[in-house]
Amino acid sequence: MENYIKEAKHGFSTNRIPTYSFKASELDLLLKLFTYNLFELFKMYHCSAPIKSCTNQRFRGEIVQAVGVFVSHIRKIMLNIQEGYLHKQVFRLMVQGVQQLE
pLDDT at position 64 is: 74
pLDDT tens digits, residue range 43-91? 888 888 888 888 888 888 777 776 678 888 888 888 787 777 777 788 8
Give Cα separations from 84 to 4, 27, 89, 96 (angstroms). Answer: 32, 41, 12, 20
Question: How large is the average pLDDT for residues 31-47?
Answer: 89
Q: How far apart are CA 80 and CA 67, in angstroms?
A: 8
